[in-house]
Structure formats: structure tokens, C-alpha cells
Amino acid sequence: MTRIIALALTLAAGPALAADGPFFSLHNTNFVVLLAFLLFVAILVYFKVPGILGGMLDKRADGIRTELAEAKALREEAQALLASYKRKQDEMAEQAQKIVETARKEAKAAAAKGKADLDVSIARRLAAAEEQIAAAEKQAVKEVRDEAVNVAVAAAGEVIAKQMDPARADAMFDDALGQVQSKLH
């Protein structure tokens, strides 16, 4: 076997042996190249290089298939995750819209309640003011009446004092005193 390899190397390495002439001669370049190629192929087959290369290529192909399957699974997982996030985003957008809507309703309700409370407060204050005005009117009327009574009594007292003589005054005084005593007992 080593002889064949040495011969092949000698033949392949010696371009001086290649020459024009009959094809099956060692002087023909084409024949020498053919023999070197066949010897090279025989060595590869003897050492099972095509099987080793095929096995390596098969392993590489299996690795690539595995990586492609993993990539496909990762892609599907990423798509599922993206769809999940889109659903969550849509749900969050809906919740945000509901929160905003609820806040608006609550704000409107609070404004309406505030307005109603303000109306009630204004009505209460108006009623209190009207009561104070009515009380002030009553007080003023009473004061005017009291003053009128005082003026009338004073005027009547002056008129009676001018028209009354002392004897008649004593009689009226005694009569009034008798009435008071009878009512007290």
C-alpha cells in the first residue's frame, strides 16, 4: 500500500514525466493526471473519508434541522407571547377607558351633588335671612307700637291732667285701688 502511495506521489509530483504521445503512456500528461486522481480517490475510499464526510454532513444537517425546529418553536412562542401582550394591551386600554368613563361619571355626579348642596345651602340661608327680616320687622313694629302707646299714654295723661280736678282724681284713684285689691284677693 505504501508503494502505491509513493508511486502516486511520484507520478503526481513529476510534471516532467508528462509528455505528448499515446494516451496510456506515462509520458502523457492527461493519463498521469487521471492515474493520480484515481489513486487519490482510492485512498479516500480506503480510509472511509466519504463515509466520515457523509456522517459529518449528516450530523451537521441534523444540527441544522434541530436549530430550525428550535427557531420555529421560538418563533411560534414569540408570536403567542406577542398575541398575549396585544390582548393584555387591549384589555388595559379597555380598563383605562372604563376608568376614565367612571371618573367622568363620578365627577358629573359630584358636580351635581355639589350644585344640589349649594342650592340647599342657599335656600337655607335665604330662609334664615327672611326669618331675620321678619323678626326685625316685628321688632320694629313692636317698638313703633310701644312708642305710640307711650306717646298716647303721655298725651292722654296730659289731657286728663288738664281736665281733671283734684277731687275727681282722688275718687278715680280710690276706685282703681279698689279694683286692684278685689282682683288680688
E strand or H helix at 109: helix 49-163
Look at residue 38 and tell me if it is in a domain. yes
pLDDT digits (tens, 9 = 90+) for 56-89: 999 999 999 999 999 999 999 999 999 999 999 9
User: Would you say residue 58 lies in a domain?
Assistant: yes
For residue range 102-158, list pLDDT tens digits in order.
999 999 999 999 999 999 999 999 999 999 999 988 998 888 888 887 887 777 777
For residue 156, tell me if it sits in a domain.
Answer: no
Q: Could you list the residue range(s) of the whole structural domain that residue 124 is in?
A: 2-132
- CA triple 110-112-117, angle to 5 deg: 90
pTM above 0.75, yes or no: no
Q: How many CB atoms lie within 10 A of CB 11?
A: 18
Question: Does residue 184 belong to any structural domain of this protein?
Answer: no
* Domain presence at residue 128: yes
Residue 73 lies in a domain: yes
Burial (0-12, 13-18, 19+ Cβ within 10 Å), 39: middle
Contact criterion met (CB below 8 Å) for 136 and 143 = no
Whether 8 and 40 have beta carbons less than 8 Å apart is answered as: yes
Give domain status of residue 52, yes or no: yes
pLDDT tens-digit profile of 4-16?
655 555 555 554 4
- For residue 103, the one-letter residue type is A
Identify which of 17, 47, 44 has the alpha carbon closest to the alpha carbon of residue 33.
Answer: 17
Domain count, the chain: 1
Is the separation of the CB atoms in 32 and 20 below 8 Å? no
In a domain? residue 170: no
